[in-house]
Structure 1
């Protein structure tokens, strides 16, 4: 029987140095993979916050014959419509609405988020510790927009300032130049959601999975939320048909057993205000507000000034409709009211 070769026990220690580079290589590859995953995760978080991720259900286009457009989600559309409605309700010019929208696009991606730097919250990332309000108030989009406008109104000649300067005087951000990149999109949104650009905002109108209450009463409540009771009482919002008592001081509302059409009269003979807003512009603001809220409130159809938007999976669009002839049921001035058909 041959004796064991003395070289065998010596072979083991010789193999160990060779295995170390292999292990190091494996560790490096795993580490690199983890870094890539972390980077992708960070990218997705940033895209989510800034509006880069989500179902693109809405589009706003320029009223000019150019290719400018902005695609955004139904959630963003609801918040943008609220910001615009609160601004015009305060008598702020379109430029103020543009500044507010650009600020919210940068700060939260037009999402009402419950987190941020330190105690920052909401659409504008306002801080309770800095006197912007309570957490509950700041998480109310109408409140947060209102207090933003209140601070903006105190900035001398804000409408004549560059957008970054005006926004920074309110926000005092560590990155004031970041607001500028959102100005083109904010300009398109403000033109549509103040009503200056007619039939330029469309949404698919697919019902949101997170939608709360729906139907005529929900539409009325949302109108009051964004435009205020006084603004709607003045117009006399109704749901055409039999009168139903409604608690004061909310707008008077009527309903029919068959129909689900909310009719929002537009004040006739309205003179343009300092920013040029008149009867027609007010009507288009209400109409495009309804489209922006179509997913959240399950709105199926909106009609104004001989144009109609209908919810569609292919991307609802505005198209001409026949106006009822004089003397027939439903005949009225095409500028007199906005008709909103609410879903179940």
Structure 2
């Protein structure tokens, strides 16, 4: 029987981040992933320290950047792939009032270091932006699809990946940990994203989920090299391809693309894009969003070595490494979890 320190269910941004914590501390893992959850793969992957609707700083952004970016750079070297595309985010202004609000926001605590006070004039003929842009600093894009593909290939090479659905009925809980089929493990981490609703151990958590649809377009005349935030994000991918997204749908909880989603994206895109383009791909996934918009991390109320790592929402590339380190330190070193992410906030005494 194979023995490992951690069974990890899910190989999206949460599962990969936690697996890395274990590996960096010389622990052993077996990861299960059946590709049923697509949110990490189809995500835009933008990391952006500013909430661009309200001109406020992202929750815990300084701590998140300090952990996430070194992790992705380390993985780039080890996996031999390009992951981090350091690119400024430009926030398109709709009025002089928005310009003033932006410059006022630059004086807010914890925000000024992420906002440039220089107004950027529009020089991209394919974009309608008469009032110019505000530039977000320390921003960029992680190629999440490349990350997941390369990481799973490495796990597979080392015999650490099972590309199959986790069969909950085959799990045996023992005094020292868990038995699952032909594997013994000390700890079990569920990092299943929206799929946690099928998990009998954690399916009562307040997971609401937000479906997001995105398009990939080909726009050879656009020649845009920044990440644009207008009524939606426009993200350069190279080779004149751009990712467009995303929608928010709270009732449809399938991974199927819809004509309604496509229409919404094209309608918004056409309010500011002034060059020809063709749609080459249409994607969808369910973001794992918790009721209070914070991650949900911690130990099962009954089984002491069983944990949840979930609820990364729309900012998984930054939040995943941060909460994974918190969870690992809680398990391995007894460090208290941040109360804002702790599962205890949803467990009745």
TM-score by length of 2: 0.26
The structure carrying a bigger strand percent of its residues is: 2
TM-score by length of 1: 0.26
The structure carrying a bigger helix percent of its residues is: 1
RCO higher in structure (CA 8 A, sep ≥6)? 2
Structure showing greater radius of gyration is: 1
